Structure 1
Amino acid sequence: MTAHTEVSRPVSETFRASLRAVAASVSVVASRDGAGAWHGMAVTSASSLSMEPPSMMVAVNRSASIHSVIHASGWFSLNLMAECHAGLLEAFSRSDMRDRRFLVEHWSCGIEGLPVLNGALSAHLCRVVAAHDFGTHTVFFGQVEDVILPDPPAQSPAPLVWLNGARVSVCAPVKT
């Protein structure tokens, strides 16, 4: 057995490094405030939760501006980005680019006025049914009230994937 000789680093630092090795699809979590304005941010921390009832969950840092919007509205959309949306990723990752997030040519309006990304691999429109604070984040649990898929589905492009702190290209999904 080989002795571990690496200099000890804080767990938070090694934990962050370990997560960079996990490929993750990128989604835009979005919501609508009481005045009707749309808010959103790019996330890799979204996942399906249950088939019955159909539900999704997303983890949002409590310091993120969208956190209070989701909390107050009780609704969010999860828009799974395709590679063709790579140009939007920076706008949804940087607060100084908020004015470039919801350009009219990229978005349409779903139930409850929620933003739906045109050409998304899928958009799940969710009503918040529970929220749980943990560490710096709140995990919002949403019951899926509507799903929007590409039309036609056979034309579905490759997902936008994040790995080691950068976007990576993947092959388009194989149709069976």
Structure 2
Amino acid sequence: MTAHSDVASPLRDTFRASMRPVAASVSVVASGDAAGAWHGMAVTSAVSLSMEPPSMMVAVNRSASVHPVIQGAGWFSLNLMAECHADLLEAFSRSDLRDRRFLPEHWSAGLQGLPVLKDALSTHLCRVTAAHDFGTHTVFFGQVEDVILPEPAARTLAPLVWFNGARAALSATAET
């Protein structure tokens, strides 16, 4: 059996190409360190896991700066981004823009002091109940301890979606 680091480059490239047409919503996974500083990154690898108990899971690269913060805090927030958060997506995708990530006009503190994106389509505040390393990532399993929904007017915002290596618009198709 081949270790993940020994996978041939052509297979990695083909696998990456095979995943590009998979549309995925974009979230910010975030947490706070012992000094109270917030850390986060944009992810498309966050999904609901179970209704009983309400739980989410997110895959975080172990080289990401937020990884040890989530491990240490034992908590994370998942903030589902809307199209209006496109500027924030760039800040959370590039380490050289870290100073633009948690501007007060976009964020407030929630349960356990976790970062809550204002006007997010939803925010799930999760307590880490398990973690599993696989390849280059850790999958964090979080029991949802609180859910924050936007005001009704914001609930009609379109989600920020990643498709084919770029942001994409999403529109609903009427049922016939």
Same fold per TM (> 0.5)?
yes
- TM-fit CA distance, 1:9: 7.0
Deviations 1:43-82 (A, max 9, x none): 0000000000000000000000000000000000000000
Q: Would you say 1:116 and 2:101 are equivalent positions?
A: no
Match of 2:128, SS state, is strand
Q: Where do 4+ consecutive residues of structure 1 move more than 4 Å? A: none
- TM-fit CA distance, 1:156: 2.6
CA-based RMSD of the aligned residues comes to 1.7
Corresponding position of 1:65 = 65
Q: Would you say 1:170 and 2:170 are equivalent positions?
A: yes
Task: Measure, in 1, the Cα distance between the counterparts of 2:172 and 2:108.
Answer: 24
Match of 1:40, SS state, is strand
Task: Measure, in 2, the Cα distance between the counterparts of 1:135 and 1:165.
Answer: 22
Question: Max radius of gyration: which structure?
Answer: 1
- TM-fit CA distance, 1:126: 0.1
Task: Measure, in 1, the Cα distance between the counterparts of 2:135 and 2:80.
Answer: 25
1:133-152 counterparts in 2 under 5 A?
A: 133-152=133-152
Deviations 1:149-174 (A, max 9, x none): 01126743000000011001112698
Give TM-score, length-normalised by structure 1.
0.91
CA shift in 2, pair 1:27/1:173, >3 Å? farther
Match of 1:146, SS state, is strand
Match of 1:108, SS state, is strand
Corresponding position of 2:52 = 52
Corresponding position of 1:99 = 99
Task: Measure, in 2, the Cα distance between the counterparts of 1:84 and 1:154.
Answer: 10
Corresponding position of 1:75 = 75
CA shift in 2, pair 1:29/1:9, >3 Å? closer
Task: Measure, in 2, the Cα distance between the counterparts of 1:49 and 1:119.
Answer: 23
Instruction: Please tell me whether the aligned partners of residues 83 and 157 of structure 1 are also in contact (alpha carbons under 8 angstroms).
Output: yes
CA shift in 2, pair 1:173/1:111, >3 Å? farther
Identity of aligned residues (%): 78
Number of aligned residue pairs: 167
Task: Measure, in 1, the Cα distance between the counterparts of 2:115 and 2:154.
Answer: 23
Q: Which runs of 5+ in 2 are unaligned?
A: 1-7
Instruction: Please tell me whether the aligned partners of residues 157 and 173 of structure 1 are also in contact (alpha carbons under 8 angstroms).
Output: no
- TM-fit CA distance, 1:12: 1.1
Corresponding position of 2:5 = none
Task: Measure, in 2, the Cα distance between the counterparts of 1:138 and 1:156.
Answer: 33
Give TM-score, length-normalised by structure 2.
0.91
Match of 2:158, SS state, is coil
Deviations 1:95-121 (A, max 9, x none): 010000000000011000000000000
Corresponding position of 1:11 = 11
Match of 2:97, SS state, is helix
CA shift in 2, pair 1:173/1:91, >3 Å? farther
